[in-house]
Structure 1
């Protein structure tokens, strides 16, 4: 599969929203914080020094992921979603590796929130070197019950 990973372009903003909304509705529910970030990626991610990447094949967005500034030490790996018909083709792992390479090049540490019911995702995070740490009481996501970091 000839997948190209590109940085945010306005023409892909709707795909960022739609792919993530579909994924959240399928696996959990959409929280107010999700809607804010997804509908205003410039404000919550890009204008704060974050990044959004897209996996593209033949002008079709197959997947997306964001690196959102969390605090002075970490960027949150967040809003990763893959087009339903492209799942199982390792698009998410390609996006993950791209983010890790990007983080290494830019001397960023990564963290993420997830839920242990997503066993495959947790397995992949561990495979890429993420380690579990306690979830803080004021986590931005009600659905998260696991927090992981990757110090690069």
Structure 2
């Protein structure tokens, strides 16, 4: 089947794709911060082993994008490290990954999903708003680039 998009779970053999996709995105728009290096250098330790999840979007069986759900508490997860390889932009992959993550959040009966972003990323902010995320006014972030926090009530 042509132009088939699928979502697959993290496996150790995919850790390099997780790092490469996110570093390419970060270098294009911002910079790779020390916390990024740490988390991307060992995603299994920083996401999976702490109760979170990493997913990949494939396009015709090639890795095209990635997204993570980072456990904050038992009922709050952070949508984290979403990136789509540039050659796959415009193929609805961001929407598909978002819908998949929100369906997972509902299955897990989470209270909310949060995310941190930057208001210069108009397409990303539009995507988050399209799915119901709302800006939070009072927040702090460990990332220098984050100037907006958004959240979506699930329950």
Name the TM tier (shorter chain).
over 0.9
Per-residue CA distance 1:75-125 (angstroms, 9 max, x = gap)? 110100111100111111110110001101111221000000001110110
In angstroms, what is the RMSD of aligned CA positions? 1.1
Once residues 16 and 80 of structure 1 are traced to their aligned partners in structure 2, the CA distance between those partners, rounded to angstroms, is: 9
**1:24 and 1:30 in contact (8 A); partners too:** yes
Instruction: Mark the runs of 5 or more structure 1 residues left unpaired by the alignment.
Output: none
Number of positions where the alignment pairs a residue of Structure 1 with one of Structure 2: 151
Per-residue deviation, residues 110-146 of structure 1 (Å, max 9, x unmatched)? 1000000001110110110001102523x11111000
Q: Any gaps of 5 or more consecutive residues in structure 2?
A: none
Q: Could you tell me the TM-score, scaled by structure 1's length?
A: 0.95
Please give the TM-score of this superposition, normalised by the length of structure 2: 0.93
Q: Aligned equivalents of 2:96 and 2:61: distance in 1?
A: 17
The Cα offsets for residues 1-25 of structure 1, whole Å up to 9 and x where unpaired, read as 3111011011211110000000000
Alignment of 1:2-151 (within 5 A): 2-108=4-110, 109-137=112-140, 139-151=141-153
Name the CA distance, whole Å, in 2 between partners of 1:112 and 1:135: 13
